[in-house]
């Protein structure tokens, strides 16, 4: 059994759903008449991706990528490994990356460059959470659900050691 304890509820499912409706409308307006590709980043973004995609009223293709950072603890490499690549040809397309949380910005900075190198016309970012205090790479984030303090967040897709992804709200992990 694991012994971690979680804190109070920071963001409820209702708040997240309302925010997804708002951002979905904004994306629909911003890309009116265009086709878009939503790229969800596994596994953390699954619930947020589902919320966003059903609120986007555009010609939409969805795809997923899975990535992991090399030496995340060292916080220096900035090297990201692709564990599952796109199945979609994004040449000339408008791509919106749908991510769970931006901390240092290293993962998204790498992904943006990667998707541009695959020929995307535009690459935008839609994140459920932003932790600006952790930022090490300057990155322009287009759509942000909620800004959170610099603590370890779990729930609504976000994990600690693969646990807590199924919690239907955002909370945080208490240190022992």
* Enzyme catalytic residues: 103
Q: Which is nearer to Mg ion, 24 or 44 (CB)?
A: 44
Alpha-carbon gap, residue 48 to 17, rounded angstroms: 9
Q: How far is the CB of 99 from Mg ion (least distance, A)?
A: 7
**How many chain residues are in contact with Mg ion, going by CB under 5 A?**
1
Give the residue among 38, 23, 47 at the shortest CA–CA distance from 159.
47
Q: Which is nearer to ligand IMP, 16 or 102 (CB)?
A: 102
DSSP state, 134? G
Alpha-carbon gap, residue 60 to 83, rounded angstroms: 24
- Which position among 28, 88, 104, 122 is part of the footprint of ligand IMP (CB under 6 A)? 104
**How many chain residues are in contact with ligand IMP, going by CB under 6 A?**
16
Residues 41 to 60 in contact with Mg ion, rule: CB under 5 A? 44
Alpha-carbon gap, residue 153 to 157, rounded angstroms: 10
- Which position among 153, 156, 157, 170 is part of the footprint of ligand IMP (CB under 6 A)? 153
**At residue 21, what are phi and psi to the nearest 5 degrees?**
-60, -45
Q: How far is the CB of 17 from ligand IMP (least distance, A)?
A: 20
**At residue 46, what are phi and psi to the nearest 5 degrees?**
-60, -45
Alpha-carbon gap, residue 102 to 113, rounded angstroms: 16
* Contact positions vs ligand IMP (CB under 6 A): 44, 69, 99-107, 131, 152-154, 158
* Contact positions vs Mg ion (CB under 5 A): 44
């Amino acid at each position: 059994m694991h012994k971690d304890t979680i804190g109070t509820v920071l963001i409820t499912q209702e708040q997240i759903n309302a925010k997804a409706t708002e951002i979905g409308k904004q994306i629909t307006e911003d890309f009116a008449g265009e086709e878009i590709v939503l790229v969800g980043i596994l596994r953390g973004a699954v619930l947020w991706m589902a919320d966003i995609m059903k609120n986007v009223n555009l010609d939409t293709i969805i795809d997923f990528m899975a990535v992991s950072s090399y030496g995340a603890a060292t916080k220096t490499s900035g090297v990201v490994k692709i564990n599952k690549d796109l199945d979609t040809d994004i040449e000339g397309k408008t791509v919106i990356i749908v991510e769970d949380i931006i901390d240092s910005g290293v993962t998204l900075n790498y992904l943006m460059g990667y998707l541009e190198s695959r020929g995307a016309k535009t690459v935008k970012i839609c994140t459920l959470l932003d932790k600006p205090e952790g930022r090490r790479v300057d990155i322009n984030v287009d759509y942000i659900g909620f800004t959170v303090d610099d603590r370890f967040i779990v729930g609504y897709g976000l994990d600690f050691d693969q646990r807590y992804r199924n919690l239907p709200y955002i909370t945080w992990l208490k240190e022992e």
